[in-house]
Amino acid sequence: MNRFASLFAALDQSTRTTDKVAALVAYFYEADPEDRLWTVALFSGRRPRRAVTTTELRNWAADAARLPLWLVEESYPVVGDLAETIALILPPPDTRSERSLSEWMAFLQDLSGQPESVRKSAILDAWAQLDTSQRFLFNKLVTGGFRVGVSQKLMTRALAQATGRSEAELAHRLMGDWSPDTTSWEALIEADDAGADASRPYPFCLAYPLEGDPGDLGPPQEWRAEWKWDGIRGQLILREGLHFVWSRGEELMTDRFPELARSVDFLPPGTVIDGEILAWDGGAPLPFAALQRRIGRRNVPKKLLTEAPVILLAYDLLEWQGKDLRALPFSERRGLLDRLLHNLPPEAPVRPSPLVAFQGWQELATLRADARNRRAEGLMLKRAGSPYHAGRRKGDWWKWKLDPHTVDAVMIYAQAGHGRRATLYTDFTFAVWDGDALVPFAKAYSGLTDAEFREITTWVRANTLQRFGPVRQVRPELVFEIAFEGIQQSPRHKSGIALRFPRMLRWRRDKPAAEANRLEDLKRLLDATKS
């Protein structure tokens, strides 16, 4: 645990990317393969099974520190972090543990499902062997609320330096359905047979919002335009006679969209397609509300399959005949994709998303104005010569939406509704990132379906950090897309801004909290509306 604790301290102390990468590279050189694997798992958002609830942890810490529970409860808001509060109030350790990170993880995994008395004495025993900084980390591992200022991209860069493999290859290897229980460092990072897991997706290429004039992008012939569909991003993988569908948040959605199973009848194995899952009425997309009824359902009732059938509108080809095509220019990948799909019969659940032909930027701006009639949110601009990047990189993919007034925000407080919805948590407070902190900027309470509010209510009950009368502070994990009519400066709000008519457009299950918008984004929008 010492080595991991030093790594954590080094990452925490510096905001400079080069320092963070150097600390990670040094760690990857020195640590044991089991610890390296757990570190990669934790830093890429993979959580161990949770064996202990935060309430149990608080109660046990109060016992161990011989403090009344109310004093622990009072200390928590002052410190601001439960793991840290507990680390600080416990008496000094009796002995020092020599356990490594992976040994502690195995210890925690073994606790899951054990009776409370066994789990309590194990946790107390662990606390008695760890110093304050190790305890802090240990508590974070127990609660699963592990966050460091290290993006997947940064970690991949460090891994590339430490292993001599390319970032693109490593980013691909780290995707998909693995955990330290199902793989080893050797199999995940080093073994030649990187294709062992047939379901493994590629990291999604993401876009930046176009804020200025498209004319600034250079000659229009270097660009391709497509409609920006209002559905769910999906990567369809066809390998070894099987099919898999991944969300942009690395969640397997295969069973949720059974219509896509038929793609194996029309397309050969060794094909991976990037596209948008849309509810489809035969010739055009249905409004997002139709697709919304499908989201979150693992078993889709027959009625819904007929009322809101889905297809994949394909816009990129990432693998063909088992070969990774990501390094090819976009125009070539698109050409191959169109050839692959243009002859498919209407019953095939995959179709090409058409390219929008244009000669000049002015013509494209006029076409964009018609996006709503096409049931699109605007346009996507993709540089014809660009490879398929992993993640968000400025320059080659731009989203040029019609309505720029949306923001992805993290829910931090929840309150029950009124009347018919009095038993459900429906009124939420949302925050965006300001540095490493979340600042509240808006409240909203409409826009989701009853089924979604029910699911969120269960989640709120299980993830409450604190109560203030009727309001619950929740783990900052759920992301929602908030739409609004206007934005203005406001000295009354901590964020310094106020929104007009904010409402929830959708629950972004595919986005982790770290990817929510930042206060700078809202300030930029504020400046743009002023000028």
Binding site for ligand ATP (CB under 6 A): 206-207, 226, 228-229, 233, 248, 276, 315, 353, 380, 399
Using alpha carbons, select from 48, 43, 38, 46 the residue that is nearest to residue 1: 38
> SS3 of 39, please?
helix
* Cβ-defined contacts of 116-125 (< 8 Å, 24+): 116/56, 119/51, 119/52, 119/56, 120/56, 120/60, 123/52, 123/57, 123/60, 124/60, 124/63, 124/64
Shortest distance, position 101 Cβ to ligand ATP, whole Å: 32
Please identify, using beta-carbon distances, which residue of 240 and 477 lies nearer to ligand ATP.
477
Separation in Å, CA 495 to CA 428, 440, 472: 16, 6, 20
Shortest distance, position 525 Cβ to ligand ATP, whole Å: 14
Please identify, using beta-carbon distances, which residue of 114 and 331 lies nearer to ligand ATP.
331
Please identify, using beta-carbon distances, which residue of 43 and 229 lies nearer to ligand ATP.
229
Using alpha carbons, select from 392, 469, 459 the residue that is nearest to residue 426: 459
Shortest distance, position 257 Cβ to ligand ATP, whole Å: 15
Shortest distance, position 253 Cβ to ligand ATP, whole Å: 13
Please identify, using beta-carbon distances, which residue of 119 and 248 lies nearer to ligand ATP.
248
Residues 6+ apart with CB under 8 A from 125: none
Shortest distance, position 330 Cβ to ligand ATP, whole Å: 10
Q: How far apart are the first and last CA of the chain?
A: 53
Phi, psi (rounded to 5 degrees) for 425: -85, 115
Please identify, using beta-carbon distances, which residue of 35 and 510 lies nearer to ligand ATP.
510
| Six-digit token string for 510 | 């595919």
CA 84, CA 135: separation in Å to the nearest integer? 8
Please identify, using beta-carbon distances, which residue of 119 and 256 lies nearer to ligand ATP.
256
| Six-digit token string for 105 | 């993880």
> SS3 of 359, please?
coil
Q: Which ranges in 230-270 belong to alpha helices (H)?
A: 263-266
Shortest distance, position 252 Cβ to ligand ATP, whole Å: 17
Shortest distance, position 234 Cβ to ligand ATP, whole Å: 8
Please identify, using beta-carbon distances, which residue of 119 and 326 lies nearer to ligand ATP.
326
Please identify, using beta-carbon distances, which residue of 61 and 381 lies nearer to ligand ATP.
381
Please identify, using beta-carbon distances, which residue of 158 and 337 lies nearer to ligand ATP.
337
Shortest distance, position 248 Cβ to ligand ATP, whole Å: 5
User: Helix 82-89 crosses helix 132-143 at what angle (to 10 degrees)?
Assistant: 140
Shortest distance, position 443 Cβ to ligand ATP, whole Å: 21
Handedness of CA 143, 147, 151, 154 (dihedral sign): negative
Output b/e per residue, 73-89; b: 16+ Cβ within 10 A. eebbeeeeebbbbbbeb
